[in-house]
Structure 1
Amino acid sequence: MRELLGRITALDPEAGAAVRVITYFDALAGTGVEPIVRGAAVLTGLPAGFVDRSRAVAVRVAPDGSVDRAAADPDPSWCSVRGGSVDGVLWLERSGEPGPVEAVVLERASAALRVHLELTAPAGGGEELAKMAVDSRVAESVRGRAARRLGFGARARVRAVAVSGGAVRVVTASEEPVDGASRAGVGPEVDVSDLPESWEDAARALRFTAEGTGADPGPRVVRAEELGGLLLLADAVGPGWEPVPDVAALEPVERDGVALLETLEAVAAAPSLRAAAAALGVHHSTIQEGVGRAERMLGWSVRDVPGRLRLQVALALRRLHRNV
């Protein structure tokens, strides 16, 4: 690493300095607010400070190392960046735009502060720790500390859970992932160190959930392991993606009324029309009539295996569009 840094510095002194800054602050992550702010001051030769009123943190460090632990808010003209929380701001006491090295110092010092504050005094408690534990951008050692603070040992088997509204949970493999009041995607069972992978699949699974109402029928909780290859659809359907004809064919069904859409959802989930009727609590003839009307709107039969599979995929794609 030292040899590489020497070569980079020889080729481009500013690039070499930037790499040294990155290495420096990566080593400081989690050590404390004051050492990180002191590093920013020493590396730039400028007074540096950090204030986060939500956590009652206020510190300013001069280049000579002197510390003011009752710092005031920074002058708006100084170089600054948010760090640690919405209320926290890190600054260098220089007006105007920061130079290349100063910009890197602000960025990396801010990231180090965020890691430290979210692990030692998270504003959102367990929620912030869970977000840290599943974040692939965070070093594995830091993710491990977050998981331990949540009560999970290094050998625990856990799942990441993505809850509608942006909430994150980490649960044991045997624990009920949600209380049933929210839509949720549940990631596969993994070791603590693999939580980011479980989280990615949980976020995909969340997009396959529905409100469970007439207008949005379907499961409120979806486990990634039960989706199998369907998870790939979540990566294919994004903002601006045009619905395929089968999804568009569901629009007249929806306009016909919630009962017909619920009928198709039941048919897609059941092994037979009689089983779908039992699930809905209606007579078999009622299902037969509804399916016949829906088939005329869709343009294909849903009574055989290929047609039911086509319906299942169309309904899954519809939910993905609704949950982009």
Structure 2
Amino acid sequence: MEELLQRLASLDPAAEGAVRAIAYFDKLVEGRAGLEAFVRAAAILAGCPAGLHDPDRHVLVRMHPDGHRLEAGSFHGEWPMVELAGGEGGRVWLERDAGPSPTDVIILERLAVGVRLVLDRTRGRGPARDPASVEALLSADISANVRRQAARRIALPADPQVKVVAMLAEPDSAVPESADLSRWSAQLGRVLAAIVPADLEPETSVRIGLGPAVESADLPRSWHGALQALRLTGIDGPRRVRFEDLGGMGIIAERISPADALVDDVLAIRAAQDQIPAALATLTALVEHDSLRAAAAALYLHHSTLQARIPRLATILGYRPDTAFGRNRLHIALVLNRINLNGPLP
């Protein structure tokens, strides 16, 4: 083999590098090496950090080319990578901003094959999606024993904390597919519920409510909190709401039905929207910012232009929205408006 490598090096350095990489990984396979050894080999051969992420098995490994393990980090879309076969969202990558060289392609392909062999040998195949088991885990009416069985079926870890993400797409769009959000998910009515690690902040364009972090046995509480948070999202307001940020607003979200939320102050907001262009955006900015100047800047208006709108808005609303009391009243009205527009949720 060494003689062949030397001859290839004199003829084609790239081919010599590819054969050397194949031989390196073949030795690791024969020696039944572990995950770190495979990722370390890729980093050394490529001369840059290499990574592995298998979300089905909660495996994340990054290695430096000098051989030491790096802290957990996210994959960047511009890095060369190869997806792992047989799972959802699993990949190996090289942390190189330039495009992959021919040798990089060989390294990644051999790394992916080796990693898959190790994972299948040591941790079994990744679990298939099982929405029924996810639904059982979120139900408060299911016994603890049935919930434990459901957690085992989807390979949900018992120790790390998790949380529920409740997602609601707009009528003309759909909840996007994502490995992080589809692995442990179930469609419950109009809402897609997903169980995710407690520290995950999912990136998605749809409106989401984030439940509190809990042990897996307490997932119904996180699901309940995620729905409360989701009820307070809106096209006119926040698209991502955390249960921990609700405070007393959580009681409003929990106890007021969409029908009961349609009070006179909500009807007044809708009347203002019908009569004044961008009234809803203006009222939302008044609530979300501490001053007229800050609200005007958010609306890309001069503060005097915004100030001139206030009297007409006050006439329609029945109170001035730029006073302390008026802002509080307007804030509650906007919250009720979102609850009504969101309609019944699971």
The TM-score with structure 1 as length reference comes to: 0.56
- The answer to whether residue 205 in structure 2 is matched with residue 205 in structure 1 is no
Q: Is the 8 A contact 2:261 2:339 kept in 1?
A: no
| 1:297 aligns to 2:316 (yes or no) | yes
1:234-268 CA-partner distances (Å, limit 9, x unpaired) = 23322542622222221211102451110100111
Q: Deviations over 1:247-293 (max 9, x none)?
A: 22212111024511101001111111111112222221222122332
- Counterparts of 1:168-183 in structure 2, within 5 Å, are 168-177=193-202, 179-183=203-207
Q: Tell me the residue number matched to 1:166.
A: 191
Provide Cα deviations, 1:122-172, integer angstroms capped at 9, x if missing partner: xx9254433222111222233234335545422211111111132110111
**Aligned counterpart, 2:248:** 229
Matches of 1:242 and 1:158, distance apart in 2? 32
Partner residue of 1:31?
Answer: none
Question: Is the 8 Å Cα contact of residues 295 and 302 (structure 1) preserved in structure 2?
Answer: yes
Query: Which residue of 271, 274, 283 corresponds with 2:293?
Result: 274
- Quote the Cα distance in structure 2 between the aligned partners of 1:258 and 1:129: 47
Which residue among 303, 311, 336 is the counterpart of 1:317?
Answer: 336
Does the aligned pair in 2 maintain the 1:134–1:199 contact within 8 Å?
yes
CA offsets, 1:51-96, max 9 Å, x none? xxxxxxxxxxxxxxxxxxxxxxxxxxxxxxxxxxxxxxxxxxxxxx
1:210-248 Cα shifts (integer Å, max 9, x gaps)? 12xxxxx11112111111111111233225426222222
Kept in 2, the 8 Å contact 1:126–1:150? The answer is yes
Aligned in 2, Cα 1:238/1:290: closer, same or farther, shift over 3 Å?
same
CA distance in 2, matches of 1:187, 1:193: 14
Q: Is the 8 A contact 2:258 2:341 kept in 1?
A: no
Cα gap change, 1:146 to 1:277, in 2 (>3 Å): farther
- Tell me the distance in 2 between the aligned counterparts of 1:245 and 1:255: 15
Which residue of the partner structure matches residue 141 of structure 1?
Answer: 145
Residue aligning to 1:306:
325
1 CA distance for matches of 2:130 and 2:331? 37
User: Which one of 157, 161, 165 corresponds to residue 157 of structure 1?
Assistant: 161
Q: Which structure 1 segments of 5+ residues have no match?
A: 1-123, 212-216
Q: Decide whether the 8 Å contact of 2:136 with 2:150 is kept in 1.
A: yes
Cα deviation code 1:268-324 (max 9, x no counterpart): 111111111122222212221223321121111222222111110000001111112
Q: SS in structure 2 opposite 1:163?
A: strand
Partner Cα separation in structure 1 for residue 258 and residue 283 of structure 2: 26
Instruction: Kindly provide the amino acid, as one letter, of the partner of residue 244 in structure 1.
Output: V
1:187 aligns with 2:239: no
Contact kept, 8 Å, 1:260 with 1:290, in 2: the verdict is no
**2: CA distance, partners of 1:254 / 1:192:** 44
Distance 1:168 1:153 in 2: 18
Is the Cα contact below 8 Å between 1:127 and 1:167 reproduced in 2? Answer: no
C-alpha separation between the residues in 2 aligned to 1:167 and 1:322? 18
Aligned length: 196
Inter-partner Cα distance in structure 2 for 1:152 and 1:242? 38
SS of equivalent residue, structure 2 residue 246: helix
Q: SS at the partner of 1:249?
A: helix
Is the 2:271–2:316 contact (alpha carbons within 8 Å) kept by the matching residues of 1? yes
Q: Distance in 2 between matches of 1:155 and 1:280?
A: 46
Provide the identity percentage.
38
Q: Distance in 1 between matches of 2:136 and 2:326?
A: 43
Q: Which moved more, 1:237-246 or 1:250-259?
A: 237-246
Q: Distance in 1 between matches of 2:238 and 2:234?
A: 6
The answer for the alignment partner of 2:269 in structure 1 is 250
